[in-house]
Amino acid sequence: MRAAEAIVAMLKAYDVEYIFGVPGDTSTSLYDALFTARDAITHVLARDERAAAFMADAYARLSGKPGVCEAPSGAGASYLLPGLAEANGSSIPLIALTTDIPLAAEGRNVLTEMDQAGLFAPVTKWRTTLRRGEMTTEVVRKAFRLATSGRAGAVQVTLPKDVLDEEVGEHSLHAEPACLRYPAYRIGPDLETLAHAAEALIAARRPVIVAGGGVVISGAHAELTALAELISSPVGTSINGQGSLGASHPLSLGVVGGNGARPYANDIVAQADLVFFIGCRTDSVTTLDWTLPSSQGDVAILQMDIDPGELGNSYPVLVGLVSDAKLGLAGLVGAIRDQLATGDGHHSREPWADIAGLRETWWQSEQPRIRSDASPIKPQRILDTISRLFPPEGVIVADAGTPTPYVSAFYRCPAGRHVVIPRAYGGLGYAIPGVIGAKLARPTAPVLGLMGDGSFAMSAGDLETIARLGLPVTLINFNNASFGWIKALQHLYQDRRYFSVDFSTDTDHAGIARAFGLEGTRVEDPADFEAVLGNALSSQRPTLIDVVTACEVDEIPPVHKWLQDVEGILGH
């Protein structure tokens, strides 16, 4: 057995169903091994390597299994960088296999020679080069173990072409069972720290929980719900934390912070006397540049994270818990119940904020935009229609630009992983390849991709992949003929000096989709959108709907600073 065949045998042992990639000169031995295993592992040919990594990322988020992608040496390996960076920054287990020039030719300027370890060092949790075929199985096991355990992330293995052809033994072709899925090897907090956290939560009069992506990754929805109900705490989320608590729950605030938050949600966080961050990086967006809550020490901060390096990174922490969210929250619920049973501490079960009233008032204030017949179409109307027509078991994959604030504010996300948005680095061009990974991860769930026309152009080639695979996904293109986010910044802060942000208005996005083999429809009248979306969702055909939408300069999205600054301008 050659090392290439041993790698594929190990992938089978780890129950890998899909590997996403693009072929190259250095990959022929790996592809030959994949050919012999094609009944067990499906190779998904992407149209570029960045898309392959995005497919693997979305697949991992929605399947509960690590995603696997591959690329050839040189430029092919470098094109993986955006996808690995996104997965690693979002704590998603991704395994990248990059083939390389022969070790025997190292340092002699062979075409495509590159320092792959140096290339991937900033964007991976771990990386290595397979320098001896006999180390193949050990290296693969370590890759899966490190990708799926602790704070999950991206790992990368360089596979020199001559090493792939080395003969190896078959005696150690076994997987590590705990690492077939993630999180692997969960860890929980110590009992003394749990007791301190329980005391603080019981004593708080106005607690707020802010749940990040770690809650969704851990699958801790039931445990979070139990804690929130036990202490009557409102629950806000980061953008990656959407689905930590179902949007319809009475204690749900939805997304908080600077991008996609409803104003009342931020107001409630600002009134808290204790904020409990769970699996949340306390980043600049979620915390409004660390002003929500205040970082001056006048609000008690609790923090739970799998990574001890995150505790106290942005706020002084009263109690820090190093733990997987599911185990930690279950332990915390038990500790609070124990203390309440013994009568320790004051506790009120009455909600301290009128979330239902504030929520209803906000929805009513948005009705003029939701029901607007204006053309170009308002994004609020699009998202409201999606919320009404899209099944709750469905998955939305959205790009990081125009769709993000509207999905965050207007989509009623159920509990669980139902929304995928690349938030670590905000790379555009994610949604088209992302829906491929999403549909393969959840083949029975409806999958909807949302993107702006800037993102569309960055990944349109993989419309062909969608058509080739016959995936019944629906794509919605927010067509405002611009990089609308940047144009809004120029509108608000550069005195409307628009520069290099506008596209041609003649581009036929629906026609491009049809040319690749999808159904393609253009919508300009808001009255037509509901029927077009309904037909697309029921057609079981890959479909792109090109919707001519209002640009951010004409319809300011729910971005906290922008709305505040617009109000200030209007006030003067």
Q: How confident is the model at residue 25 (pLDDT cuts 50, 70, 90)?
A: very high
Q: Where do runs of H (alpha helix) occur along 204-350? A: 213-218, 221-231, 263-271, 325-341
Q: What is the pLDDT of residue 351?
A: 86
Residue range 161-170: mean pLDDT, rounded:
93
For the stretch 238-270, pLDDT in tens is 999 999 999 999 999 999 999 999 999 999 999
Q: How confident is the model at residue 346 (pLDDT cuts 50, 70, 90)?
A: low
Instruction: Please say if the pLDDT value at position 570 is more than 70.
Output: no
Instruction: Please say if the pLDDT value at position 366 is more than 60.
Output: yes
Instruction: Please say if the pLDDT value at position 569 is more than 70.
Output: no
Query: Mapping DSSP to helix (H, G, I), strand (E, B) and coil, where does residue 471 land?
Result: coil
Residue range 1-10: mean pLDDT, rounded:
97
Show me where the domains of the chain are located.
3-179, 191-355, 371-571
For the stretch 417-455, pLDDT in tens is 999 999 999 899 999 999 999 999 999 999 999 999 999
* Closest-CA residue to 415 (of 278, 252, 246): 246
Q: How confident is the model at residue 568 (pLDDT cuts 50, 70, 90)?
A: low
DSSP string, 344-357: -S----S-SS-HHH
Of the given ranges (204-208, 218-222, 292-296), which has the lowest mean pLDDT? 292-296
Residue 253 identity (one-letter amino acid): L
Residue 504 exposed, middle or buried by CB count within 10 Å (0-12, 13-18, 19+): exposed
Average pLDDT, whole number, for the chain? 95
- State the fold for domain 3-179: Rossmann fold (3.40.50)
Tell me the C-alpha distance between 36 and 74, whole Å: 26
pTM of the entire structure?
0.96
Residue range 557-568: mean pLDDT, rounded:
88
Q: Where do runs of H (alpha helix) occur along 342-448? A: 355-370, 379-389, 403-410, 431-441
Tell me the C-alpha distance between 102 and 99, whole Å: 9
Beta-strand runs (E) in 399-466: 419-420, 447-452
DSSP string, 22-64: ---GGGHHHHHHHHHTTTTSEEEE-SSHHHHHHHHHHHHHHHS
Q: What is the pLDDT of residue 535?
A: 97
Instruction: Please say if the pLDDT value at position 186 is more than 60.
Output: yes
Q: What is the pLDDT of residue 453?
A: 96
Q: What is the pLDDT of residue 419?
A: 98
Q: What is the pLDDT of residue 487?
A: 95
Report percent pLDDT > 90 for the chain.
93
Chain-centre distance for alpha carbon 39: 30
Whether 279 contacts 214, CB under 8 Å: yes
Does residue 468 or residue 569 have the better pLDDT?
468
* Closest-CA residue to 255 (of 304, 288, 303): 288
Report percent pLDDT > 70 for the chain.
98
Q: What is the pLDDT of residue 207?
A: 97
Q: What is the pLDDT of residue 111?
A: 84
Q: What is the pLDDT of residue 502?
A: 95
Tokens 């009404």 map to which residue? Answer: 388
Tell me the C-alpha distance between 261 and 57, whole Å: 25
* Closest-CA residue to 498 (of 480, 511, 513): 480
Most distant CA pair in the chain: distance in Å?
77
For the stretch 377-387, pLDDT in tens is 999 999 999 99
For the stretch 30-40, pLDDT in tens is 999 999 999 99
Q: How confident is the model at residue 572 (pLDDT cuts 50, 70, 90)?
A: very low
Alpha-carbon Rg for the chain in angstroms: 24
Residue range 233-238: mean pLDDT, rounded:
98
Residue range 364-391: mean pLDDT, rounded:
97
Q: What is the pLDDT of residue 106?
A: 81
Tokens 């993986």 map to which residue? Answer: 80
Q: What is the pLDDT of residue 195?
A: 97
Instruction: Please say if the pLDDT value at position 344 is more than 80.
Output: no
For the stretch 503-549, pLDDT in tens is 999 999 999 999 999 999 999 999 999 999 999 999 999 999 999 99
191-355 maps to which CATH number? 3.40.50.1220
Question: Which letter, b or e, does each residue of 13-25 get, where b requires 16 or more Cβ atoms within 10 Å of its Cβ?
Answer: bbebebbbbbbbe
Instruction: Please say if the pLDDT value at position 43 is more than 60.
Output: yes
- Reduced DSSP (H G I as helix, E B as strand, rest coil) percent helix, strand, coil of the chain, to 5: 45, 15, 40
What CATH class does 371-571 carry?
alpha beta
Residue 438 identity (one-letter amino acid): A
Question: Which letter, b or e, does each residue of 510-537 get, where b requires 16 or more Cβ atoms within 10 Å of its Cβ?
Answer: bebbbebebbbbbbeebeebbebbeebb
Residues counted in the chain:
572
Domains 191-355 and 371-571 share a fold: yes
Token digits of residue 558: 């729910």
